[in-house]
């Protein structure tokens, strides 16, 4: 069965610091990869996604993620975080079989101090 | 745009009570699903539907029932609530059933406490 690991459960950064959140998955076949973000009191929304092509994916609000197939990883990055990036971030993985097979990681809570 | 609407946002139940969490979407999405979010466990799929009249079980279906009589609505029923069902519930939808074609749109969540 597929699984997704997010190793950092809580991250605290100061504004302007760089961010990298790890995501590793276990599945040997073709995968679709997602990062969702949940701002305090709000619903989850899509940050970025990878289906195929360029392994460096750019999303909203200056976020990007790099798919490294050999490492089964899809790490999220942002060069300079802002206080407004305080949120919980979820990595998710599925195959082309559909959203019913979408597996979420346990999430990483990011706190950015001003 | 309303998107995905969930009601109620908060609910407290006693063990053994029943209730229904409502979910409606106005985007004509064929795929709808229910997740529960628990600390340290991420989101886990309870039930899903790929179209009106079609439902199936997800990862953690026990204790929950669903139906999909219309494209817009996908209610989640707890027939006899248990403390283990204390959680935050999210409804999500997508215009396509496949992950390669789209993204999930989430509701704002329903926080349920079972005493």
pLDDT digits (tens, 9 = 90+) for A20-61: 999 999 987 888 999 999 999 888 999 999 988 999 999 999
Q: Among B33, B107, B108, select the one facing A99 at the smallest CB separation.
A: B33
Which residues fall within 8 angstroms of residue A52, CB to CB, at 6 or more apart?
Answer: none
Residue A19: its pLDDT value, please?
Answer: 97
Which of the residues in chain B have pLDDT under 50?
none
Mean pLDDT of A68-89: 96
**How far apart (Å, rounded) are the C-alpha atoms in residues A64 and B4?**
26
Pick among B49, B94, B100, B104 to test the A interface (most A CBs inside 10 A): B100
Residue A95: its pLDDT value, please?
Answer: 79
Rounded to the nearest integer, the mean pLDDT of chain A is: 92
3-state helix, strand, coil split of chain A in percent (to 5) is 10, 50, 40
Chain B CA closest to residue A44: B106
**How far apart (Å, rounded) are the C-alpha atoms in residues B73 and A17?**
43
Chain A residues whose beta carbon lies within 8 Å of the beta carbon of residue B93: none
**How far apart (Å, rounded) are the C-alpha atoms in residues B45 and B58?**
5
Token digits for B63?
């204790």
User: Quick check: bond before B3 cis, omega within 30?
Assistant: no
Tokens 């990883």 map to which residue?
Answer: A73
Chain A residues whose beta carbon lies within 8 Å of the beta carbon of residue B100: 32, 51, 96
- Can you tell me whether residue A100 is helix, strand or coil? helix
Residue B100: its pLDDT value, please?
Answer: 66
Rounded to 5°, angle at Cα A5 from B42 and B47? 35
Contact indicator for B4, B17 with CB cutoff of 8 Å: no
Percentage of chain B surpassing pLDDT 70? 97
């Amino acid at each position: 069965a597929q699984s997704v690991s997010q190793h950092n459960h809580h991250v605290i950064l100061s504004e302007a610091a760089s961010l990298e959140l790890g995501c590793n998955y276990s599945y040997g076949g073709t995968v679709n990869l997602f990062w969702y973000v949940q701002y305090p009191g709000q619903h989850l929304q899509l940050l970025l996604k990878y289906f195929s092509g360029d392994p460096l994916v750019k999303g909203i609000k200056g976020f990007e993620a790099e798919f490294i197939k050999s490492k089964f990883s899809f790490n999220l990055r942002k060069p300079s975080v802002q206080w407004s990036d305080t949120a919980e971030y979820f990595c998710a993985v599925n195959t082309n079989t559909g959203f019913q097979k979408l597996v979420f990681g346990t999430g990483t809570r990011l706190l950015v101090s001003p | 745009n309303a998107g995905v609407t969930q009601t109620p946002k908060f609910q407290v139940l006693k063990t053994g009570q029943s209730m229904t969490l409502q979910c409606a979407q106005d985007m004509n999405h064929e795929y709808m699903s229910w997740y529960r979010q628990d600390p340290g466990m991420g989101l886990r799929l309870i039930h899903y539907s790929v179209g009106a009249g079609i439902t199936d079980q997800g990862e953690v279906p026990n204790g929950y029932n669903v139906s999909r009589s219309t494209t817009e609505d996908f209610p989640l029923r707890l027939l006899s609530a248990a403390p283990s069902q204390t959680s935050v519930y999210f409804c999500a939808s997508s215009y396509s059933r496949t992950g390669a074609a789209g993204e999930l749109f989430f509701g704002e969540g329903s926080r349920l406490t079972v005493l």
